[in-house]
Amino acid sequence: MRTLGIIPHPRFRIEVYSLDKHFYVEVEAGPMKQCYKFHKEQAESLEGVKKIMDAAFLEKSYALFEEMYKNQQAALTRFADAP
């Protein structure tokens, strides 16, 4: 796996890696990370990955990050309240 590049974004850190048959994309926000694999036939280059990671995709990712954060906080609260 080699680093292909970073997609600039004001809200997330988006790093793209190249594998043999896939592009591997990490989207990070605070303590949370989402990872996606796209077959190289779906996105032939870093520019192709950028097109897939459009505003609608990233808005949904943001909503998922909010859910992930709530889930993490709920688990930490349960753990802290456990005898």
Query: Tell me, what's the pLDDT at 81?
Result: 72
pLDDT, averaged across the chain: 94
Which one is predicted more confidently, 44 or 26?
Answer: 26
Residue 10, SS3 per DSSP: coil
Residue 65 CA neighbour count, 13 Å, CB half: 19
Q: Work out the number of other CB atoms within 10 angstroms of the CB of residue 23.
A: 22
Q: Which residues, in sequence order, are CB contacts of 17 under 8 Å at separation 6+?
A: 1, 2, 3, 4, 23, 24, 25, 26
Query: Tell me, what's the pLDDT at 78?
Result: 87
